[in-house]
Structure 1
Amino acid sequence: MTRTSAVSLIRSRTLSDVAEYAYAATAPAGSRLIFLAGACPLDEHGGTVAVGDYAGQAARAVANLRTALADAGASVEDVISTRVLVASARQEDLVAAWQVVRDAFGDHDVPSTLMGVTVLGYADQLVEIEAVAAVLDEPQPEGAACPPSA
């Protein structure tokens, strides 16, 4: 079964085309919004992976984001916006993390904010990715039970 994304990306013709993402996105009324906690570079045991490696941590955070999206009935193509937090004051560290995130989203270049922060919540954590997604769920037949919430 193929599902059509609820998200429409909006590109500005009057703002700079230097940005590697859409400047805005919309979802129609009736979409189910999914607000994801920050995806962290943690393994299945809760340990921080790729210590000292911005790109490696970004890759694991993206993988964990994909899992959280799937658990909520969504995919990367349903993401409407992201915020990428990088524990560094160096622009090249932010760019290293951003390149991994940008590549993971491919043509679905959602509006994003990239921020350098002082510290993140887990020991040795360098990257965290927040996201909001929007999906159009299949209509339930009359009298059908609602899907369980997590």
Structure 2
Amino acid sequence: MPRAVTLIRSTALSDVAEYAYAATAPADARLIFLAGACPLNEDGSTAAVGDYAGQAAKAVENMRTALGAAGAGLDDVISTRVLVASARQEDLVTAWKVVRNAFGDHDVPSTLLGVTVLGYADQLVEIEGVAAVLDS
């Protein structure tokens, strides 16, 4: 199935970033707006308490599930915002590495933010996303 998302890179911008700086989808693409994927277990408990990498992995797993329910996958994501409850850059980087590795070659435009608190008890990571698919 053809993909709707086209990642855009610019040689005029730094190549240090591990993601494309922009992405597009054609006008006939169906957009999927995801609620923030949280590191919650099926029973509602927070997974991997105190573990930034573990929570990032669970959030990605839950994002995959939500995307699948909408008829999409990680390769259909057009942008993400990764929220990490920490003021320490190394905690942000720990979560980011998990998210970045999950996307593989699909280096979707992303924003990584340190925030003071997230919505669930013991929550350290949340991933927002938008996806685009071509329905046949």
| TM-score range relative to shorter protein | over 0.9
2:91 alignment partner, one of 90, 93, 98: 93
Aligned length: 136
- Cross-structure match for 2:75: 77
- Cross-structure match for 1:119: 117
Question: Gaps (5+ residues) in structure 1?
Answer: 139-150
Question: Gaps (5+ residues) in structure 2?
Answer: none
Deviation at 1:41, TM superposition (A): 0.2
TM-score of the pair, normalised by structure 2: 0.99
**1:1-150 alignment, distance < 5 Å:** 3-138=1-136
CA distance in 2, matches of 1:61, 1:137: 26
Q: Which amino acid aligns with 1:118?
A: T
Q: Please, what is the CA RMSD of the aligned residues?
A: 0.3
Structure 1 consecutive aligned stretches of length 4 or more whose deviation exceeds 3 Å:
none
SS of 2:101 mapped into structure 1:
helix
Q: Which amino acid aligns with 1:101?
A: V
CA distance in 2, matches of 1:84, 1:130: 6
CA distance in 2, matches of 1:59, 1:104: 8
SS of 1:57 mapped into structure 2:
helix
Deviation at 1:4, TM superposition (A): 1.3
CA distance in 1, matches of 2:75, 2:40: 23
Structure with larger Rg: 1
Q: Using the aligned pairs only, state the percent identity.
A: 81
TM-score of the pair, normalised by structure 1: 0.90
SS of 1:133 mapped into structure 2:
strand
